[in-house]
Amino acid sequence: MASDMNDYFNKKKNEANRGGGFQPPKPPKIDFNMNGQKAGLFWLIGGIIMLLVLAKPFVIITEGERGILSTNGKYEERALLPGLHFLIPFIQKVYLVDTKVRIINYTDITDRTSSAGDGIVLKPAITVLDKRGLPVSIDMTVQYRLNAQVAAQTISNWGFSWEDKIIDPVARDITRNVIGQYEAESLPIMRNAIAQKIEAGIRSTVEGQKNAPAELESIQLREIVLPQKVKDQIERVQVAKQEVERAQQDVERAKQEAFKKETEAQGIANAVTIEAKARAQANHLIAQSLTPALLKLEQIQVQGKFNEALKENKDAKIFLTPGGSTPNIWLDTKTNDSQKVSSSQK
């Protein structure tokens, strides 16, 4: 079997040698025997290309950045805008600066790094003293950006660490001055007013710098960390206030109950008074309506009824009250029963 395979491959090899099989193309021949002029030109072009690659005589500036052009170590007054810019190799150089919003977080954390992300810097919390000298820790966030219009001048005057020379010291100094005006116990109560004072002070100081190198976006007072003994004292005061408020609520509730009962009693008394006045008024009106003529008419009517009664019982006796006023009483002598015929009091 092995001999058959060898015969097969030998046959194919012989056919290829006779030109009957596929032959791979031969590589082109390059003549390196150039004369001196051609070789020099070749090496010159290659050197220029290599020089351009290494020197990179252009720069691309993206949005949110500005380019500070330096010519022989001297900064140009105007920053380069986003786009493609060509340079003179070895003579000019461009430094990119960030003009996007940047953030400094002043916070008291155990694991602190120099940077927490793109454009976010973590710094220690601001430690200040209150009006009585008690230490207070302030957590705060400052959002700002480099003024793109004067970016070149800012870098020329302050250097590339400009924010450590402008934003950070101003924020700490203003915060210390504001907190120093208050006692620690009043800081949580005056939080909004303190935040406004800190923001106004930092903003006026930073934006008041020559050429306004930075633009402040916002300043946020996140937390005021008080000493433990001050926290305990505030907690005791809060508990005492809650007890006082609870007692005041009980007193107010008792007052309301007493007022309710007094109102109900007063209402009953008023109702009785009103009823008595109404009866008196009615009696007064009735008394005014009883004229002598009306009384005489009433007497005549009653007497007429007695006269009718005498027709039925002629032995009855009639007693008239003095003055002829009613009531009139008559007695039936036959039965000796006393009957009240009419009683009308006028």
Asked if residue 215 belongs to a domain, the reply is: yes
The set of residues, in sequence order, having a beta carbon less than 8 Å from that of 156 and lying 6+ positions away, is: 75
Res 258 pLDDT > 90: no
Asked if residue 250 belongs to a domain, the reply is: yes
Q: What is the pLDDT of residue 103?
A: 93
> Same domain for 175 and 123?
yes
The set of residues, in sequence order, having a beta carbon less than 8 Å from that of 300 and lying 6+ positions away, is: none
* Residue 323 to residues 65, 295, 306, Cα–Cα distance (Å): 125, 12, 17
Q: Is the dihedral of CA 225, 228, 230, 234 positive or negative?
A: positive
Which SS3 state, helix, strand or coil, does residue 33 take? coil
0.85 exceeded by the pTM? no
> Same domain for 112 and 217?
yes
Asked if residue 124 belongs to a domain, the reply is: yes
Domain tally, the chain = 4
Confidence of residue 199 (pLDDT cuts 50, 70, 90): very high
Confidence of residue 179 (pLDDT cuts 50, 70, 90): very high
Asked if residue 172 belongs to a domain, the reply is: yes
Compute the chain's Rg from CA coordinates.
58
> Same domain for 119 and 219?
yes
In 18-143, alpha helices (H): 36-55
The set of residues, in sequence order, having a beta carbon less than 8 Å from that of 187 and lying 6+ positions away, is: 130, 136, 179, 194, 224, 226
> Same domain for 218 and 110?
yes
C-alpha of 67 from chain center = 39
- Domain extent, residue 159, equals 102-226
Which SS3 state, helix, strand or coil, does residue 24 take? coil
Q: What is the pLDDT of residue 342?
A: 41
Asked if residue 89 belongs to a domain, the reply is: yes
Residues 211, 170, 69, CA angle at the centre, nearest 5°?
A: 40
